Copies of this chain bind each other. A is one copy, B any other.
């Protein structure tokens, strides 16, 4: 297998883009990444997206975006794994380049969610859960996460406010991210007083519905320097699944898919969690941050939330997470999120994160979660 690097990054700002179509969003991110990589052609593109059919009446968006970008003829396929679609598209792109089938590949994540009423979007998001055994009975994603958070608080004796720093840290970091949807700080008081959504989850535990698109361009490391002065190596790419329904898990508070994919990635990279300088985790809700930290080996079971409480998750902390705002404050255009995470880690490793730069960052990790943990994609990047 060939060594693979990221040679280009493109992001479009996350927000409510009522004046931009799905194809425009995808194209803007792709064009920015191709410009960054100084490439004018591609061998293939893999488009991570979850809800184009449900929310914009458009499937077949591999062809849609390759056509709109003037790249007709190339291999172009939509990749779907719920909120893990972006990470899965990265995994497929990595597979194609590492395996020698393609040289220059774009991994795009794109989602357009805000054209529909929130109730439609919420029920469409529930298609990531088990339609027959979860969604049909009225569970939405926020309510599934509320059950997990309640259980976590009960098992380990935490209060709701113990989760506050996940949200506060994310918003503090988003201030310096030009692509963030909510680049504004929040206070502990605001968190404590935020409106409940599904108890114990409140508005500021929750990442927002959003439109957005991001893209990275991959190439064999052997030729990466022809395109960029600062290629970022994809040191590991791993994906694992778990039961679709939470009630089928051996332990609902353990992200087994997260643990398997992280272990695979660590093994492939020959490192452990202590070697990671930046960790973009999947903070769809604050509880998911805690579970992701634990599954990935950054904290013991029941201790993930302590990393936030004790102030270890900031830019200068022991485990810097959501360094550009995370899903919470950058925004969570579901199928695009996995690529935003990778773009942000790569930006950190390039040393281009501005005021949010993690000093001497050499190894970074992104973990993208589909559903309530049924798909987890872990990607480890390295500054060369």
Write the residues of chain A forming the contact surface with B, with a CB cutoff of 8 angstroms: 1, 21, 50-54, 56-60, 62-64, 66-67, 71-82, 88, 91-92, 95-96, 98-101, 123-124, 126-132, 135, 239-245, 248, 256-257, 260, 370-371, 374-375
Contact = CB atoms under 8 A, between A and B. Distances in A.
B60 A371 contact: yes
Contact of A60 (B60, B63, B374): B374
A226 B21 CA distance: 51
Contacts of A77: 79-81, 88, 91-92, 239, 375
A76 B375 contact: yes
A113 to B, nearest CB: 13
Contacts of A128: 59-60
A376 to B, nearest CB: 10
Nearest to A47: B80
Nearest to A50: B59
The dominant DSSP class at the A interface is mixed
Given A1-B101, A75-B239, 9 more contacts: A50-B59, A53-B127, A57-B131, A62-B241, A63-B374, A63-B375, A73-B257, A75-B240, A95-B95
Contacts of A73: 240-242, 256-257, 260
B67 A374 contact: yes
Contacts of A88: 62, 77
Nearest to A123: B57
Contact of A82 (B50, B54, B59, B127): B59
A60 B82 contact: yes
The 6 closest A-B pairs by CB, nearest first: A99-B99, A63-B374, A58-B131, A60-B82, A59-B127, A78-B80
A54 B124 CA distance: 9
Nearest to A130: B64
Nearest to A99: B99
A56 B192 CA distance: 39
A358 to B, nearest CB: 30
Given A59-B50, A74-B240, A242-B72, A248 B375 contact: no
